[in-house]
Structure 1
Amino acid sequence: MTLIPRRAALGLPLMALAAPALGQTAAWPSRPMRLIVPYAPGGTTDVMARLITDRLSPKLGQPIIVENRPGAGATIGAAVVAQAEPDGLTLLMSNSGSHGVSPSLYPNLPYDPMADFTHVALVVTSPSVLVVTKANPAQNLAQFIANVRRAGEIDFAVSGIGSSSHLTGVRLGMALGVKVTPIPYRGAGPAMTDTIAGVVPAMMDSLPSAAPHIASGSVRAIAVSTAERSARYPDLPTLREGGVDVVNSSWFGISGPARLPAPIVARLATAIREVMTDPGTVARFEELSGAPPPESTPESYTAFIRSEIASFAPIVRAAGIEPR
């Protein structure tokens, strides 16, 4: 009879419990996945999410279903992921709204943007663009600024309270010294629909989601919010060129619930990196005026989000933005 040392025998129950979990991790993903988009269909977050999942799904060997859960400045969808099982099957298209602005905007945020998530990778950044309706008399940035200053106020549509485009629009109004009235929607898609229809005179939107409407002539692009002109739209001036010192970009990444197993995080990060460095993916993002980062790791994305929360806080306070 072979005797098992007492110390080893005591470890057997723990090993037995760990074995199934290790097996599940090794087989991940064993079922279809879902990527929560905290905005309505049609906006930049949704467009970017579907572009990524189309390329990420074959690498992981499972379908990835994009699920739109809009509302409350992207916090409703983010909360769904914060409360999900940490099995790697429910992920979030985290963004500058859900994880940059909302922590300073909502006093009773239903999640901790750092402690309740495992941040995997930053995937793309994109500039905001100011567009106006076809009926708007402003044909260029100089005319737009002159008209707004003459009126002393500006109304503009945004994808939601606390979105990056909202902050950009508020900063624009502050820089021009006029009253700003942002009209919030449950995503860029509905906001653009009303802008095209003339319900609101202007909109601050991410350039990727606005691009098709600019190309079709449904709206007129006035300026971008980047420090330099867009390579895709070289004739479109920056706000700075109009004497308005406002620079801001939206960003999007992949996050999961807290306590995601390290092997899952590693495999997911590797697959995302392969997708984001593929020349075809890079070209497609560039067509949409999005800029993939040179490289993003879970560590660098986590540090990036922490820095964005800190940088947005004084802007939210100065603008006096309140949730609705």
Structure 2
Amino acid sequence: MSSRIIMLAIAAVVFCAAVPAQAAYPDRPVTLLVGYAPGGSTDIIARLLAKSLSDQWKQTVVVENKAGASGMIAADSVVRAAPDGYTLLLGYTPEVSINKLVFKEMRYDPIHDLTPIALVASAPLVLASGPKLPARNWKALLALKGKETAIAYGSPGVGGQQHMAGEVLKRLTGLPLQHIPYRGTSLAVQDLVGGQIDLFFATTPPLLGNIRAGKIWPILVAGDKREKLLPDVPTAVELGVPDLQLTNWFGVFGPGQLPDPIAQKIGTDVMGILASKSFIEELEAKGLTPTPLQGEDFAGFIQDEMAKYQRIIQETGISQR
């Protein structure tokens, strides 16, 4: 063996020893951002999912709430994070498929700057009334049409799905509704209970405790099927307003340019969790429906949602901001 070959062999051994093998993902804690205050459905799902992923990955998954700007503060933080899978978003409908349609200026493009990894859960909106409003059912609410006093309804942010639901309700019924935006669902629910606002659309989880306590009253489910946890509450279809069908959805996103192997790893692990009977039961106990979609299927779902909300924006006249 020539001395040149021997030297090359030695160099190769030294190089391999100097370059450590790439660690399997994840080998350190992962941050899961939520764009809303604690207590809403997005936060609830994030914490359930973080616990399951922590158990599976043997790494801590930390939920961090960055509320504000209709979820865009958290989404922008993920967009600007390193595309390594250690900063993820538990995204909710507005910051992914609505805000682009209603805000003239955004710091990110949800289609190009976020990687859709996995759809986790969905839930129809529920319209609830507070103690200040003399309406605890659909008939009583419609009787308020023509009143001079405005009926205040809240939402977690301008241009979001719950804002759209209120504007669709206003268009369909002629009720004198006035929009009051909040920084999160839990804050709006507090004011609904306290009588600062009259109506609020939300998924079942953040409303259920106060409904059961008799502090607020569910008027309708904005879908075509009754909720398991609210079996006596009629649907929009039953009440003759089928256009008032709006379902929230929640999914996991990473930064744009997230490597495919990492996106596939996260997505596959989330799909595995969604197949777990115990996780399904946890979601359903909170009024949420497991809705597993991964990768390209999830991306196509988002495109369909954007087309739907574009039509609603045109019909309701919600202006860009």
Q: Settle same-fold status: TM greater than 0.5.
A: yes
Q: 3-state SS of the aligned residue for 1:218?
A: coil
Query: CA distance change for structure 1 residues 152 and 240 in 2, over 3 Å: closer, same or farther?
Result: farther
2:91 alignment partner, one of 86, 94, 104: 94
Q: How does 1:228-267 map to 2 (within 5 A)?
A: 228-245=225-242, 246-267=244-265
From 104, 124, 127, the counterpart of 2:101: 104
Instruction: Tell whether 2:205 aligns with 1:208.
Output: yes
In the other structure, the counterpart of 2:54 is 57
Which of 134, 137, 140 pairs up with 1:137? 134
Residue in 1 that maps onto 2:173: 176
C-alpha spacing 1:76/1:213, structure 2 compared with 1 (3 Å): same
For residues 114 and 3 of structure 1, the distance between their equivalents in structure 2, rounded to whole angstroms, comes to 53
Q: Which amino acid aligns with 1:299?
A: E
Alignment equivalent of 1:127, drawn from 124, 128, 131 = 124
The aligned amino acid for 1:62 is Q
What is the aligned residue count? 309
Alpha-carbon deviations, 1:203-229, whole Å to 9, x = none? 111222211221222211111101121
Q: Distance in 2 between matches of 1:317 and 1:75?
A: 22
* Post-superposition offset of 1:60: 1.4
Paired residues of 2:101 and 2:320 also in contact (CA < 8 A): no
Judged with a 3 Å threshold, the aligned counterparts in structure 2 of structure 1 residues 3 and 297 are, in CA distance, closer, same or farther, namely farther
* Residue 322 of structure 1: how far off its partner (Å): 3.8
Q: Is the 8 A contact 2:146 2:176 kept in 1?
A: no
Secondary structure in structure 1 of the residue aligned to 2:45: helix
* 1:43 paired residue number: 40
Tell me which moved more, 152-161 or 262-271. 152-161
**8 Å CA contact 2:142, 2:175 repeated in 1:** no
Residue 297 of structure 1 deviates from its aligned partner by: 1.3
Deviation at 1:154, TM superposition (A): 2.9
Deviations 1:103-130 (A, max 9, x none): 1011111111111111100000011111
* Higher-Rg member (1/2): 2
Q: How does 1:212-223 map to 2 (within 5 A)?
A: 212-223=209-220
Q: Which residue among 269, 272, 295 is the counterpart of 2:270?
A: 272
Q: CA deviation at 1:38?
A: 0.5
Equivalent position amino acid for 1:50 in 2: R
> What amino acid is the match of 1:222?
I
**Identity between Structure 1 and Structure 2 (%):** 33
- Alignment deviations for residues 143-191 of structure 1 (CA, whole Å, 9 cap, x no partner): 1122245458532011111222211111111111234311100000111
| Mapped contact 1:160–1:166 kept (Cα < 8 A) | yes
CA distance in 2, matches of 1:69, 1:249: 23
Q: Distance in 2 between matches of 1:289 and 1:230?
A: 7
Consecutive unaligned residues in structure 2, runs of 5 or more: 6-11
Q: Which runs of 5+ in 1 are unaligned?
A: 5-11
CA distance, structure 2, for counterparts of residue 150 and residue 272 of structure 1: 49
The one-letter code matched in structure 2 to 1:278 is S
CA separation in 2, counterparts of 1:155 and 1:323?
A: 21
Change (3 A) 1:178 1:139: closer
Q: How far apart, CA to CA, are the structure 1 residues paired with 2:148 and 2:202?
A: 22
Q: Please give the alpha-carbon distance, in whole angstroms, between the structure 2 residues aligned to 1:99 and 1:269.
A: 17
Please tell me whether the aligned partners of residues 132 and 203 of structure 1 are also in contact (alpha carbons under 8 angstroms).
yes
Alpha-carbon distance in 1 for matches of 2:146, 2:96:
33
TM-score calculated relative to the size of structure 1? 0.89
**1:11-61 CA distances to partner (integer Å, 9 max, x unpaired)?**
x9xx99xx76xx44x421121111110111111111111111111111111
Query: Do the aligned partners of residues 2 and 298 (structure 1) sit closer, same or farther apart at CA in structure 2, a change above 3 Å counting?
Result: farther
Deviations 1:272-319 (A, max 9, x none): 0111111111111111111112x3111111111122112211212332
Is contact 1:196-1:218 (8 Å) kept? yes
Amino acid at match of 1:123: V
Tell me the CA shift for residue 270 of structure 1. 1.5
Matched residues in 2 for 1:50 and 1:214: separation? 23
1:97, distance to aligned residue in structure 2 (A) = 0.8
Cross-structure match for 1:195: 192
Question: One-letter code of the match for 2:31?
Answer: R
Of stretches 246-255 and 279-288 in structure 1, the one that deviates more from structure 2 is 279-288
Give secondary structure in 2 for the equivalent of 1:138: coil
Q: Give the Å deviation of 1:86.
A: 0.4
2-side partners of 1:97 and 1:234: how far apart? 28
